[in-house]
Amino acid sequence: MKAFFDLLPVICFFITFKAAGSYTAELAPIVPVSADLIPIVTATSVIIAASLIQMGFIYFKGEKPSKMAIFSTLLVVLFGGMTIAFQDPAFIQWKPTLLYWLFAVILLFGRFTKKDYIKKVFAGIALPEHAWRNVENFCLGFLIIIGFINLAVAYSFSMDIWVDFKLFGLLGLTLLFTIGLGFYVAKYAQEAQNTGNN
């Protein structure tokens, strides 16, 4: 349920884009942009609103949103706002890449300042130091590469394909990476446990 809640703004973005594409003529008097931009501008307006409502709901429940949720919302509002203001979809298309690269920078900052942010992400798990370094390297590589993949899809294919990729492609790649990383972490966590019991 939490995963669905986290994805809700992106799902709203996807549904709105598809719906707006089918009702461009009806939306033309309401959305003052060229016809080809109506779906992305409408969907961007919805994801901004959905992200802010989601953040407000979290605070209303008395919970503290994750740093990732806060950064994501700020980028959606900033780059989504620029997409609407300048009528340029490139801004919202860059948003996933910048979010991934931002977290890559945070991991690198933690490495050079000895903060070990990756250990905080996997709090409660014991791994050998070389395994922690590998996990950090895997995460850095994934964040950087998936950022480039997003841009490659955005600039090589139609807006319709990019919107599909934003929901299904990025989610699928992240899920596959998480599963693979989970197997790696589980392997070394078991070894660390066995070593500690001997």
> What pLDDT shows up at residue 118?
87
> What pLDDT shows up at residue 193?
59
> What pLDDT shows up at residue 44?
96
Q: Is 5 helix (H, G, I), strand (E, B) or coil?
A: helix
Whether 94 and 179 map to the same domain: the answer is yes
> What pLDDT shows up at residue 38?
93
Domain containing 32 equals 1-87
pLDDT reading at 197 higher than 60: no
Whether 96 and 67 map to the same domain: the answer is no
What are the CB-based long-range contacts (under 8 Å, 24+) for 91-95? Answer: 92/40, 92/44, 92/47, 93/150, 93/151, 93/154, 93/162, 94/151, 94/154
Average pLDDT over residues 170-189: 92
Whether 81 and 104 map to the same domain: the answer is no
* Cα–Cα distance measured from residue 150 to residue 157, given in angstroms and rounded to the nearest whole number: 11
Number of domains in the chain: 2
